[in-house]
Amino acid sequence: MTASNRAPGDRPESQGPARQRQALFAALLALLVAATLLLNIVALQLGQRLNLSYDLTANAAFKAGPETRALLAGLERDVDIYVLATVDGFQGSAYLQQAQRMLAQYPNLSPRVRLTYVDYVFDPTFASRFPQLTLAEGNVLVVCGDRVKQLALAELFNYTYTPTGALTILSSRAEEALTGAILYVTSDDPVRVAVLTGHGVADMTTFTRLLTANNYEVAQVNLATDALDGYDLALLLAPAIDLSTDALARLDAFLYNNGAYGKTLLYTADVTQPPLPNMDAFLQEWGLVVGDGAVFETQAERTYQYQPYYPVAAYVDAGYRDQLKDPSAPVLLPLSRPLELLFTTQGSLQNEVLLEFADTAGVRPSAATAGFNVQQATRWGPLPALVLASKRIYGATGVTQFRSNLVLSASNAMLDTFSIQNTSLANSEYLLNLLNTLCERTDVVNIEPKSLAGQTLAITTRQASTLGVLLAGALPLAILGAGLAVWLARRHQ
């Protein structure tokens, strides 16, 4: 073919712009690939240094709270966290993933914290480093120097039973457990708690776990055989068998502390207790009386879910109330005994009501029959619900130099699992604040459990009744009135 017979598109000079476009496209494609690669590298580096995720849960369940951040920011010692599991072992459960995400934040928030996953199956020699512990797969060890805190995987969660009787996770306490463990291993002088055994005392495991998680060193002590020396706080929880005079003398010696005082005894009463004459005499020396019967509430708005024997108490002492994150949250005291103060001040003894039942509360005697009605109540409120009795030694200037305390609760059930783990109640926070103050602790944090389930509507009976009136009555009437107004307006146009 001659040059004169070539089509215009076949001319060599027309291929130049096409090649240029192809080269430009290839260059742009290469630039895009390089930019994507560079962006991924930058994101990876930032992800190792910064938390690029965003927590959309209502209670920030995947984010360390301000108490933990403040503690980690002020660490002065190196802390090692060993997780006896593989990283992949935390898959399959939203709560396990939440615990893993919480673990990962600790070294990111403090250069003094190191997190190490130990494949316990393939590294059984790791246990030789901690011969005093019985280790198991899934354990978390928090170590600072010679101090070690061992956490079982189950201790990172709160549990409950479903209506079918199956055990299920209620909420995560991973942050509470980990931060408490760091406080424990870095503290030089932890508060020691004696959980008194024998005499048919109640087993309040959830409450003692709460103390352990908040840096209390908890141990079981038998009053008949073990000494109370070295303990700061003793728990005597609803004994069903009366204490001997010798056991009560040990309690007196514990609170006297060779004249140094500085001790606290927490005693709880329960409606199932038989008469305890020796224990009653001991309490009367402090000006306190645990009466007969059970406290009931006649006003539904002052009960929990309309149960008259599950009354909520009013705050009398404003100081402890104002320490709560939510001062409107109620304290529940189920199945309470009636209390009475013989005096408020007598010599070195001083008694103060911290919580009380309202004047609409009454007392059902223990001998009442099934046909009991409120007219047969033996007493009416206001009734003390939680009392702080103290023996004080004053200095020359009138300032308290030494002091021991006896905290008397009308309800042992205020320490049970339902009351302590219920985030709509202030039981756990209030008791921790009270004991922290009495034990003069400053290195404390109060971390609430984190639930990944839908939020429970935390309202009292009165609030529930008000919402019911608004939603079932006021709101429909308002909608009806608005519709009627629109119809009348259009009719008269």
pLDDT surpasses 90 at 314: yes
Range of lowest pLDDT (4-13, 114-123, 196-205): 4-13
Joined tokens for residue 304? 């929990």
Question: Is pLDDT of 316 > 80?
Answer: yes
Q: What does the pLDDT look like over 94-116, one tens digit per residue?
A: 888 888 888 999 999 999 999 99
Instruction: Please report how the helices 174-186 and 205-213 are oriented relative to each other, as an axis angle in degrees rounded to 10.
Output: 60
Q: Are strands 191-197 and 216-222 parallel, antiparallel or unpaired?
A: parallel
* 47, two tokens: 């992800």
Q: Specify the pLDDT at position 188.
A: 76
Beta-bridge partners for 229: none
Residue with structure tokens 């055994």? Answer: 197
Asked if residue 158 has pLDDT above 90, the reply is no
- pLDDT for the residue 291: 96
Non-local (6+) Cβ contacts of 442 within 8 A are: none
8 Å CB contact between 334 and 310: yes
**Least confident stretch, 177-186, 307-316, 332-341, 380-389:** 177-186
Q: What kind and span of H or E run contains 383?
A: strand 383-394
CA 451 to chain centroid, in Å, comes to 11
Joined tokens for residue 77: 């010692």
Q: What is the pTM of this model?
A: 0.69
What is each CA distance from 381 to 45, 176, 204, 320, 387, in whole angstroms?
A: 64, 38, 28, 22, 15
Among 86-95, 242-251, 383-392, which stretch is predicted with the lowest mean pLDDT? 86-95
Cite the beta strand spans of 206-360 per DSSP E: 216-222, 233-237, 264-268, 288-290, 294-297, 303-304, 307-315, 331-332, 339-341, 345-346, 349-357
Which domains are delineated in the chain?
Answer: 66-188 (3.40.30.10), 189-438 (3.40.50.880)
- Per-residue pLDDT band for 245 (boundaries 50, 70, 90) equals very high
Structure tokens at 385: 């619900």
In the chain, what percentage of residues exceed pLDDT 70?
88
Band (345; pLDDT cuts 50, 70, 90)? very high
Q: How far lies 244's CA from each of 223, 250, 278, 291, 392, in Å?
A: 10, 10, 7, 20, 26
Residue 193, pLDDT above cutoff 80 = yes
Q: What integer is the mean pLDDT of 137-151?
A: 90
Average pLDDT over residues 393-421: 87
Flag whether pLDDT at 451 surpasses 80.
no
Closest CA to 449 of 192, 102, 182, 195: 102
Q: What is the pLDDT of residue 15?
A: 65
Which residues make Cβ contacts (< 8 Å) with residue 60, sequence separation at least 6? 450
Cα–chain center distance at 437: 17
Query: Could you tell me the pLDDT band of residue 56, with boundaries at 50, 70 and 90?
Result: very low
What's the chain's average pLDDT? 86
- pLDDT category at 195 given cuts 50, 70, 90 is very high
Q: Which segment, 34-43, 245-254, 423-432, is predicted with the most confidence on average?
A: 245-254
**Residue 1: its pLDDT value, please?**
47
What is the pLDDT, as a whole number, of residue 460? Answer: 58
> What would the DSSP string read from start to end of 234-251?
EEEE--SSPPPHHHHHHH
Q: Which residue has the higher pLDDT, 462 or 193?
A: 193
Q: How far is CA 227 from the centre of its chain?
A: 30
Do residues 333 and 355 lie in contact, with contact meaning Cβ atoms separated by under 8 Å?
yes
Pairing outcome for strands 361-364 and 294-297: antiparallel
pLDDT (tens digit, 9 = 90+) per residue, 212-232?
A: 877 788 999 998 889 998 999
Does 43 have pLDDT greater than 80?
no
